[in-house]
Structure 1
């Protein structure tokens, strides 16, 4: 009796409180099929010694005490028939605390040790629920169906658990059609309207998943008919699902507007406005009422949704809208906000981040374009126009400052409005201070009156005799007077003495040096060219590209190297838009004004782009062969020349990747990484851009380490002779290599391999490979010197194979030589 009325009674109360607490704390998001059974959210690193919810911990403690203190297991028999109930409570507490292995042990103990228990069926059901949580879905499904087949009399509360679990398993396995019937039966047997409404709503979601909108709508209408008995959220979301299944179009706008307005103004829906506004926005987005969609997405955000997923959808949809409108900078801000509300481990986060990264460059160049446009516009203004422009600006600043100052003064005056401290007019109490001393009435003391007047005037100034003088603070005169009777300057005068309110402050900052102006002009021109290329190539926004390219051609002193590629890009952009007239205009312009250019040749003979000696493919092949042969002298300059020639061709990413490889070979890790980042960012959709990203990932791994490894335990060394490139050409080094090879053969070391390696623009190497130790490498150098194979003035150093890779990647030979 003690077990039943004390331990189990309070333990089951704790269990129910824990379940209700989980329901309240874990908000559902309705973009997917809701979970049939709500569980507490697991922290990233679970500590099994700390319960997820204190109520489940208390329930487990009660059950454990009931077993430990009240079990009467004697002679292989349990005489306290409440102990099996305690084990069931123990298993449930562990189940909801998501410690499924210990929970399974508790349920299995009932089945194995209490075969005649009245709750044996409950234990078997909860055991299968636990199996489902442990991902033994088929086993759990088979055993639950067996329980149904073998038991003719099952309590309704047990049928609820069986059918809801069968439904949950089918949903987990995405067998949506098979899950509808058990979920429907569970909703029929359950008594609480919370679960009844939830499972009926889930049934509607499942019908939507299989495309049966009529049955889905019927299920949602059933939820609405429950009215106020279940929680309000199920009704609100059911109304929105019914609305979506009706598939309203633009012609239904009057009805839709009235429908949404009624939902928004319903006081009972005040806690669901975030979702209601979101669904309103979704509808307007579907019918292309973009401005209304933006308005309602922002309204949804202003409601500060508790669901991070809903916030992420609001931000993401706004980002997509502005992206489609080509407002890439605004779109980038919304993508940033989206990523703060999306789990970083998900594929969606990675896709959004990639899209956001692609916007970095366009945002960068748009900012440059805006800034340089503003500066150059001011440079071109005459003095009168500049004064007018900045006077207008400083007047705005003054108005803002006045408004702020007035508010501050009002706040100060309100803070000084204190109830008057007036003593009594007689009696010992009113004339005495706290210390018992005699207090004189204020107006009987001339010193106090004079001091009070001064303090009043200092606080309020010369106040006019008027109503509400304490709140308005009106002054009788323009300014206050000092002790000499002179008028003091107004506070406004002091306020606007700051240089920020003087137009000349800004005019003096306008550049006048021609070199600086030319530099700003070049920066603007390059920004406009890059924006045109990005809009055309990366975002396929040909109209925006045309706008930028045309503006570029109106600028003064444009670099000649950009004019021809700009015109060719205009030709291509109009061609992409199938605008034959403008395509022909720019084609003839190039042929007429630049007859000897590569682009004119391409336009006159399109096959030359593919077949000519200087076609992009053949030029690239020629340059790449030079790179493979380590013929790097002048190669970088040659690549950069052809890059400019082929700026508007699809071959540009290949030349940029080759340039990155050449720079990496000559200048090392940081130059290589910087160039690869540019290729990956500028051309993310091309094969070269993807290859650059892959190489970057490798660089950021093991190649990032620039620290040399100790020589201990290394058995593969090289002997490196290093020569200044000004002293020995590659051809001469090849001859030295042949001479050393001959000397090694004579010394019976002909098996050693030699090579000539490029190190940098200043040094090149001749290497001996396959040496076993550092000491052996030094001995080989001495042997070669003694036999006249090498010269005394040749500098060398031994190095392990791993350290040689680090030295070539990071170009840190000087650092290596210091530690030898």
Structure 2
């Protein structure tokens, strides 16, 4: 009796509390088929010792207590017939706590040890529900159908579990058609209107999945007919489901407007306006009323939706609208907001992130174009035009400041008007009346001096206010206090003396140095050129590309090296648009005005782009081969030349990366880092730009410029250094072979040799693999003694780590000083 009326009773109450708590904590995603049974999301690293929900933990403790303290197992027989119920409670608590293996143990214990129990069928049902959660879907489905076919007397509550579980398995396997019938049976049998409405709503969703809108609407209507019995969520989403299925068009705008207005004005729908506005926006987007769609997506967001997925849909749809309108900068902001509301592990998040990254270059160059346009427009204005321009700007600032000043003064006046201090009013029994307070001070309204002072202070602050309602906010002053007016004017005068209100402050900032202006003009030209290329190549927005290239050619100060590539890109963009007139115009323009250019050659002989020895890929291959062979003389200049020639080709980042590597090899860490940073900045989305960023990240370990002590170092090199003018690389290779042959004769075959480029002045011949500084110096003396090396050759021993610092930061002179 104690087990039944105390432990199991309270344990089942805890289970019900836990289920209700899970329903409240688990938001539904109405953009997908709802789950038949709601479960808490599992944390990334859950602890089996800490329950997901305290109520399920309490239920498990109750069940454990019932088994441990009230079991009467004697002589192979259990005399307490409530213990099997305790095991069932134990398994259900573990099931909802999502510890499925221990839950299976509890259900199996009932099946194996209580074969005559009244609840053995229920234990088998819950065992199969657990198998479903463990992804043994086919096994669970077959067992549940077997239970239905072999048991004629199954309680209604158990039938509900069977049918709902079969439906859940079929939905999980995406057999939506097969899930409808068992779910309808479950919804008819279940007693609570929460599940009845939920499962009927899911049935409607399943009909939508198989394309049967009429049956879906019938089930949505059934949910609506439940009225206020279930939670209102299902009713509202059913109304929206019917609306979507009717597929209204532009000609139905009057009905649609009336329909949504009624829902909007219904006070009971105030918590669902975020979804309502979203569906309204979806309707307008479908009929191509994008401005209204934007308006209602914004209204949905202003309702601050609790559903992160709904927020992500609002932001994503706005991003797509602006992307289609070629407003890429605005679209980028909305894509950012979309990603903050999406699970980062999803495929959709990765796709949106990739699309967003493609906008980085557009946003960057659009910002540069806007900023430089503004500056150069001001540069081209005369003094009078500049003054007029900035006077308008400062007048607007003054109006804003006046408004703010008036608001501050108003708040100060409110703050200064304090309620009268009426301490102890009517509380002093010894006063013989009401003329003094507890401290013996005379009450305000009986003190003529205080009344007179108060009136004077009030008049000073407020002036002569009309006797009217709401006088503090709306009352008008009959007369104004002259002192206060004068004070306010003085205060305003002090504010407007600030340099920010003086047009000359801004005029003085306009650049006048010709070199600086040329630099800004060059930056603008490059930005417009890059925008044209990006719009044409990456987004296939040929009209936008043409607009940018035409604007570039119209600039008074345009980088000369961009003019011809811009014309060639105009030719390609018009060809993409199949505008033959403009294609011919730009083709003839290039051939006539730039007859000796490579572009003219390509237009006259298109095969030359592929077959020419100076095609981008062949040129790059030649230069890279030279770099590998350390043939660096003139290589940097060659990289720069071909970079300028191939500005319009996809090979440009490759040439820039090669140039950065040559720069690092010749001039060291600082120049190398600067070249990589510029590449990563100019081409962040290319493979080479990302490689540059990786190299920059790896450089953090190479920042050290301080040579290390030779103590405890066991890897050394012997370095012979030669001036380039006296010893070209070909002679250094001969010296290397000479030393190698000498080492072989001296039985030092293990020593490796190499020729290393240092800079424009010196190059090295190195001996690697030496063990100590003293041994390295001894090796140098040995080579001189055996006439392998010449005595006049300059050399120094250096550890492997110090050699890396010397090469990376080009610190030969400093190292030689400390030797």
Q: Deviations over 1:780-804 (max 9, x none)?
A: 556445433235654355667xx69
Q: Distance in 2 between matches of 1:44 and 1:819?
A: 56
For 1:418-567, list aligned pairs within 5 A.
418-419=418-419, 428-435=432-439, 437=440, 439=442, 446=449, 448=450, 451-452=453-454, 455-456=457-458, 459-460=461-462, 462-463=463-464, 470-471=472-473, 472=475, 474=477, 476-477=479-480, 479-480=482-483, 489-567=489-567
Name the SS of the counterpart of 1:414 in structure 2: helix
Deviations 1:265-310 (A, max 9, x none): 3333322221122122222222222111111111111111111111
Which TM-score applies when normalising by structure 2?
Answer: 0.88
Cα distance change of structure 1 residues 400 and 441 upon mapping to structure 2, 3 Å threshold: closer
Distance in 2, matches of 1:74 and 1:3, equals 17
For the Cα contact (< 8 Å) 1:217–1:242, is it kept in 2? yes
Q: SS at 1:648's partner residue?
A: coil
**Contact 1:718–1:768 at 8 Å: present in 2 too?**
yes
Aligned position for 1:736: 735
Residue 148 of structure 1: aligned partner: 148
Q: Which moved more, 1:488-497 or 1:161-170?
A: 488-497
In structure 1, the residue corresponding to 2:755 is in which secondary structure? strand
In the alignment, structure 1 residue 233 sits paired with structure 2 residue 233: yes
- 1:583 counterpart SS class: helix
User: Does the 8 Å CA contact 2:200/2:219 hold for their aligned counterparts?
Assistant: yes
1:662-692: CA deviation from partner (whole Å, max 9, x where unpaired):
446556788778767776786688xxx3466
**1 CA distance for matches of 2:710 and 2:237?**
69
Aligned match of 1:600: 600
1:259 aligned partner: 259
**Deviations, residues 518-549 of structure 1 (Å, cap 9, x unaligned):** 33222222222222222222222111111122
Relative to structure 1, the CA distance from residue 348 to residue 452 in structure 2 (aligned partners, 3 Å threshold; closer, same or farther) is same
Alignment CA distance shift 1:207-1:766 (3 Å): farther
Aligned to 1:9: 9
Q: CA deviation at 1:343?
A: 1.8
Which position in structure 2 is the counterpart of 1:754? 753
Shift of 1:28: 0.5
Q: How many Å apart are 1:322 and its aligned residue?
A: 0.8
CA contact (8 A) 1:111 1:120 kept: yes
Are the aligned partners of 1:480 and 1:489 in contact in 2 as well (CA < 8 Å)? no
- The verdict on how the C-alpha distance between 1:601 and 1:808 changes in structure 2, with shifts beyond 3 A counting, is farther
Structure 1 residue 326 corresponds to structure 2 residue 326: yes
| Cα separation, partners in 2 of 1:781 and 1:269, compared to 1, 3 Å | farther
The RMSD of aligned alpha carbons is: 3.8
Helix, strand or coil at the partner of 2:37: coil
Aligned length: 808
Given that 1:723 and 1:765 are in contact with CA atoms closer than 8 Å, whether structure 2 keeps it comes out as yes
Establish whether residue 107 from structure 1 lines up as the match of residue 107 from structure 2.
Answer: yes
1:763 Cα deviation (Å)? 5.8
Partner of 1:128: 128
Secondary structure of the 1:313 match is helix
How far 1:22 moved relative to its partner?
Answer: 0.7
Deviations 1:719-756 (A, max 9, x none): 66565656643222212211122212322344655333
Using a 3 Å threshold, how does the CA distance of structure 1 residues 376 and 114 change in structure 2: closer, same or farther?
Answer: same
Q: Distance between the aligned counterparts of 1:672 and 1:213, measured in 2?
A: 64
Q: Give the match for residue 378 of structure 2.
A: 378
Maintained 8 Å contact 1:703/1:809: no
The answer to whether the aligner puts 1:188 opposite 2:188 as a matched pair is: yes
Report the alpha carbon displacement of residue 615 of structure 1 after superposing the two structures with TM.
Answer: 3.2
| Helix, strand or coil at the partner of 1:242 | helix
| CA distance 1:219–1:771, change in 2 (3 Å) | farther
Gaps in structure 2 of 5+ consecutive residues: none
Secondary structure at 1:754 match in 2: strand
Shift of 1:152: 2.4
- Report deviation, 1:129: 1.6
CA distance, structure 2, for counterparts of residue 188 and residue 211 of structure 1: 23
Rounded to whole Å, the distance in 1 between the matches of 2:197 and 2:286 is 29
Say if 1:538 and 1:683, in contact at 8 Å, map to a contact too.
Answer: no
Cα pair distance change 1:238/1:466, threshold 3 Å: closer
Matched residue SS, 1:480: helix
**Residue in 2 that maps onto 1:209:** 209
SS in 2 for 1:230: coil
Structure-2 change in CA distance of 1:809 and 1:206 (3 Å): farther
Distance 2:65 2:162 in 1: 29
Say whether the 8 Å CA contact 2:718–2:796 is kept in structure 1: yes
- Quickly say closer, same or farther: Cα 1:245–1:481, change in 2 above 3 A: closer
In the alignment, is residue 285 of structure 1 matched against residue 301 of structure 2?
no
| Alignment pair present for 1:354 and 2:354 | yes
Q: How does 1:263-274 map to 2 (within 5 A)?
A: 263-274=263-274
In the alignment, is the contact (CA less than 8 A) between 1:703 and 1:806 conserved in 2? no
Displacement of 1:553 after TM fit? Answer: 1.9
Deviation at 1:26, TM superposition (A): 0.8
Q: Could you tell me how far apart the structure 2 residues matched to 1:281 and 1:106 are? A: 51
TM (normalized to structure 1)?
Answer: 0.88
Change beyond 3 A, Cα 1:280–1:786 = farther
Instruction: Indicate conservation of the 8 Å contact 2:681/2:689, yes or no.
Output: no
Q: Following the alignment from structure 1 to structure 2, what is the Cα–Cα distance between the partners of residues 397 and 498?
A: 11
Rounded Cα–Cα distance in structure 2 between residues aligned with 1:786 and 1:473:
110
1:613–1:619: 8 Å Cα contact kept in structure 2? yes
SS where residue 795 of structure 1 aligns?
A: strand
Gaps of 5+ in 1: none
Given that residues 778 and 798 in structure 1 are in contact (C-alpha distance below 8 angstroms), is that contact kept between their aligned partners in structure 2?
Answer: no
Q: Which 10-residue stretch deviates more, 449-458 or 5-14?
A: 449-458
Deviation at 1:337, TM superposition (A): 0.9
**Do the aligned partners of residues 59 and 735 (structure 1) sit closer, same or farther apart at CA in structure 2, a change above 3 Å counting?**
same
1:89 CA displacement: 1.0
Q: Distance in 2 between matches of 1:634 and 1:154?
A: 91
Q: Write the distance in 1 (CA, Å) between the matches of 2:134 and 2:810.
A: 54
| C-alpha separation in 2, matches of 1:230 and 1:817 | 87
Classify 1:10/1:754 alpha carbon distance in 2 versus 1 (closer, same or farther; 3 Å).
same
Q: CA deviation at 1:130?
A: 1.7
8 Å CA contact retained: 1:664, 1:809: no
Deviates more, 1:448-457 or 1:304-313: 448-457
1:297-355: per-residue Cα shift (whole Å, max 9, x none)?
A: 11111111111111111111111111111111111111111111112233322222222
- Specify the alignment match of 1:790 in structure 2: 789
Match of 2:754, SS? strand
- Checking the alignment, whether the CA contact within 8 Å between 1:481 and 1:488 is kept in structure 2 is yes
1:581 is paired with a residue of what secondary structure? helix
Offset from partner CA, 1:51-92 (integer Å, 9 cap, x none): 222211221222222222222222222211111111111111
> Contact 2:784–2:790 (CA<8 Å) still a contact in 1?
yes
In structure 2, C-alpha distance between the alignment counterparts of 1:712 and 1:135, rounded to whole Å: 62
